[in-house]
Structures are given as structure tokens and as C-alpha cells.
Amino acid sequence: MADKQTTEPDGEALPDAARLPNAPYHPVLMGQPALVTGANTGMGAAVTEMLTKRGLTVYGVARNADRLADVAAETGMTPLAVDITDTGALTAAVADLEIDVLVNNAGRSIRRSIALSFDRFHDFERTMQLNYFGAVRLVLNLLPHMMQRKDGQIINISSIGVLANATRFSAYVASKAALDAFSRCLSAEVHSHKIAITSIYMPLV
């Protein structure tokens, strides 16, 4: 597939550096507000760094305020120390934000067989609370601005286990599969508003 030419909004071609994956900036994205959950470690911290280097205004969400502050110091993003399973606190934290790019990265993984889960129903509850309900709450809070603006991108970090039916990960995979189903339904509804919904099926990391 041939690469599409990247252009400025006025139609002028961007410099080659702005089209490269490791470009330190991207003029089209400069200042665009983005929110990344689980931004204090791992993939979330890496995504936060990548987006800030490309000129986006990034808000990073995580529970661990100290680690989040460290990432903020390293990347220049704005830290929002909040537990996304606390729907009231989450709603309050993002109430005044107008976000164009949402990266639902925060997640909890549990590897445990069903035979060892008979008395651990809470494993299923807590994975759904974080991996599904927290992500859906953020979408519902931030989507009105995207629909009004008729532009936006929602990126959900999913798991290859959703496609492979991974054994011993039933709690985790079920929560990610729920988010997948929600996203597919949402995609059809917001297509006319030019909002893109993307699921990324990550391997074990």
C-alpha cells in the first residue's frame, strides 16, 4: 500500500521529518489535547512520551501520584492523579477538559484458572471495574466534545487474548472483550461525527 502524503491543513506538504514514526514533532498535531490512562508506567508512560514529543498537549491519568509526577517531569504532560474506578472522582477530574484524543490504556491483568477462581468472584468484578467501566466512563465524559467538534480519536489498548481465547485469563479477556463490543457499537454511531475508534490487540508485555 502506498503511503499517503501528509499535508498541513492549508494543503502544503509537511517536511519529511514530520512523516517519520520517530519524528520529534508533528505540525498537524501540535497543541491537540490528548488524555492517556495508566500514564505512570509501562505502555502508558511510553505513549505519553511519544505524544508529547509530537507536540500534543497530554493529560496523564493514574492512581500513583508520585510516579505520575515523575513522568510529568520527564515528558511535560499534565498529571491527573485519580483512580478511574472511582467514577465520581474521575468525572470531576475531567469535567473541564476538552479532549480530542483518548487513549484507554489503564488495565488490570489476572492470570488464574477457573478451577482456582471459584471463591474469587472479586477478580472478575475488579477487572471489569477498571478495564471496562473505567474506560466507558471516560468515553461518555469526553465524547460530547468530540461529537460537537466533529473530530476525535478513541484508542483502546486491548489484548491478543480477545482474539485467541487465552486460557487462565478469563477475567481479564472478558473485560477487554466487553470493551471491544462497546467500541464496535460506538464506532457505528459516531462515524457520521468523524470520530475514529481504534482497538490495539497487544501481545503479552
Q: Kindly report the number of other CB atoms within 10 A of residue 90's CB atom.
A: 21
- DSSP assignment letter at 106: -
By CB neighbour count within 10 A (0-12 exposed, 13-18 middle, 19+ buried), where does 97 fall?
Answer: middle
201 has catalytic annotation: no
**Rounded CA gap, 121 and 21, in Å?**
43
Strand-by-strand arrangement of the 57-62 sheet:
78-81, 57-62, 33-37, 101-104, 152-159, 195-202
Per annotation, catalytic residue among 25, 59, 132, 172: 172
- Chain mean position to CA 95: 17
Are 78 and 72 contacting, i.e. CB atoms less than 8 angstroms apart?
yes
Instruction: Please give the positions annotated as active site.
Output: 172
